[in-house]
Structures are given as C-alpha cells and as structure tokens.
Structure 1
Amino acid sequence: MSKQISAEYVKELRDKTGAGMMDCKKALQASDGNIELAIENLRKKGLAVADKKSTRTATEGIIESYIHAGSRIGVLVEVNCETDFVARRVEFHRLAKDIAMQIAACPSVSYISLDSINQDIIINETRIESEKEDLINKPKDIKDKIISGRIQKRLKEKSLLSQPFIKNPDISVEELIKQNIALLGENIKVRRFEKFLLGEGLVKKVNDFRSDVKNIINKG
C-alpha cells in the first residue's frame, strides 16, 4: 500500500523541482516521504526526458534582458523553445531571466557551451599552459595530464552551461535547463547572448586639474 503524502508536502516538492503534481506525489511515495531522495529521483528522471528531447528543433522563444543594479552591466539573451505556447509560459520567462542574470554574474563566460568554444582558443590556451615554468621539468605524461586538467577548468569557466546556477549551486545551468525541458515538455536552447559593460572599449580621459588651471592662467 502506498504511503499517504500530504498535499502540502507534494506542493513543497513541486516548488523545489518544478515537476508535475502527480510526479511529485509518486516520487514522495517511492521514497517513503524522503524529500531529498525524491528530488534526486525526479532530477534523474527529468534529465533522461530532457536528453530525449534535445535533438528536437527549437525555433520559437524570447529575447530576454537583464540590467544589473547600478545600470553598469546589461545582458541580452535569446532562449529558444519549440512552440509559441511554451514561449508565453511564465516558467519559460523565469528561466530566460535567470539565464540572463547568470550571464551578468559570470565575467569569464564568453561561450554557451564547451562545444561552442573555437578550436583555436583551445590550442592557444594549451600552448600557454605548456610553457609555464612550473611544468618545465615534469615528465611528459604527468605534464600532459596537468595541462589537460587546467585546460578543462579554464574552458568550463568560459562556458555558460558549465556554471553552477547562482540561485542553486548544487546544479549547473545545463541541469537547470534540462529540468525546465522536463517541466515544459519541449526542447530548450540558449542560442546566443551579448553582454554590455558600461564604457567598455573606451579610453577614459583623466583630467589634470593643476594643468587646466595653469593653462587658463597662461591664456589670461
């Protein structure tokens, strides 16, 4: 006989995972009311569902924006889904806003995923690492292993999907998207983004007050 689970408990699990009410109830019953185990099982199930949908075409969606406090950092991001219906869902808008906020909070992020990083970048990073002084006297096999580990770490720092989600560091941005794929039932992709930093690329003029006063006096 299935264990009786209260509606409040089911709602709590739904709020934490975004999964459907019946899925939450079944997950709690299967875990004897252990909410952490239920979350883990739902996450595994959600990721499996998301993987099946990841090859489906996503051409609808929205362009979301985020302006950080102080208006010195701004982000535009395009997030795609399969239908206009899902594009209007509040959960989809919330996801797009969270992704835009994530980009603003990660100064090193320049690419969507590891797969989107240009091979020339990887070759150059590898060359720089291989020439570092602390590796010069290392045996080749150990040196190669250290370089590989450092490069992977560096590339993950540049990849949006590899970042720990700022609102829940226990999951990555990629896992966050997959959870929403399971919730909304459609493939979801981050297609592109652009970050704007106030004054970026401009040469800031430094005023020399003494020189200005001297010039005014001389002209007089």
Structure 2
Amino acid sequence: MSNYNLYISSYVHAGHIGVLVEFDVSPHTSQENAFLSLVKDVAMHIAASAPASMDDLLQQPFVKEPSITVAQLLTESATVLAEEVSITRFVRWTAEAEKPMETEPPKSPSVIHRLAS
C-alpha cells in the first residue's frame, strides 16, 4: 500500500475556463503552504497554456517563470517540500461566452393589435 494520496484541485478563470488537476503526494505534504501554492500555479498554467497532453504540459515553459519548464518546477518543489510531487492527470475546458444582449431595438416592424371597444 502506498503512502501517497491523490489530491485534486480546481481553478476557474474569469468564469469561462475551468481546470481540474490531480496530484500524487504524501498526506502531510498536501497541507503545506508551498504545496498549495504549487497546485494553484500549475492549475493557472494549465488554464493559460492549454497543454494537449501530460508530456506537453511538462515540457512547456512555466507561465510565471518562462526560464524553467513545468517539469523543472515540480523538481524544484520536491526539493523544497522534501517529497516527490507528481501530476497524475488534468482536464481543461472552456465555455463559450454568451453573446451580449442587443442594445438596439429590432429593425423589423412590430405588430400592434387594438382591441375594438
């Protein structure tokens, strides 16, 4: 039996991009501030960069620090946390923004009925 747990986090950007990301971490690591910051940063990265696969995600330059990849970010975080941290899966989706309501009246004529008294 493993000493690791799955940790799932969500992130929503501007109400139209959603991300769920799952990490494999030790139980005590999942409560540390450094880990929670990493989770948020990775979810925001996924929202911003739209990786097509796990390999694509790990090889992308990290949006907050483009001089390192996401894989390097995970390695650096493992050093800080003294625990290995891995992303097991993620999902990203977008919702089409609704069209704004028309502010002008319709151009076609309206039909008005009068009731005869």
TM-score class normalised by the smaller sequence:
0.7 to 0.9
Quote the offset at 1:88 in angstroms.
Answer: 1.0
The alignment status of 1:76 with 2:76, answered yes or no, reads: no
- Secondary structure, aligned partner of 2:84: coil
Mapped contact 1:67–1:73 kept (Cα < 8 A): yes
Q: Compare the two structures and name the one with the higher strand fraction.
A: 2
- Secondary structure, aligned partner of 1:100: helix
Query: Which residue is 1:63 aligned to?
Result: 8
- Which of 80, 83, 86 does residue 183 from structure 1 map onto? 80
In 2: Cα distance, 1:58 partner to 1:198 partner: 37
The alignment status of 1:110 with 2:52, answered yes or no, reads: yes
Q: Which residue identity does 1:111 align to in structure 2?
A: S
Aligned residue pair count: 109
Q: Compare the two structures and name the one with the higher helix fraction.
A: 1
Q: Deviations over 1:60-119 (max 9, x none)?
A: 142122222x322121111111x2111111111111111000001113x12111xxxxxx
Mapped contact 1:72–1:198 kept (Cα < 8 A): yes
Q: TM-score, normalised by structure 1?
A: 0.43
State the superposition RMSD in angstroms: 2.7
**5+ unaligned residues in a row in structure 1: which ranges?**
1-56, 114-158
What is the correspondence of 1:116-195 to structure 2 with a 5 Å cutoff?
A: 159-195=56-92
- Secondary structure, aligned partner of 1:196: strand
Moved over 2 A (4+): none
**5+ unaligned residues in a row in structure 2: which ranges?**
none
Q: TM-score, normalised by structure 2?
A: 0.77
Mapped contact 2:62–2:69 kept (Cα < 8 A): yes
- Which of 88, 96, 108 does residue 199 from structure 1 map onto? 96
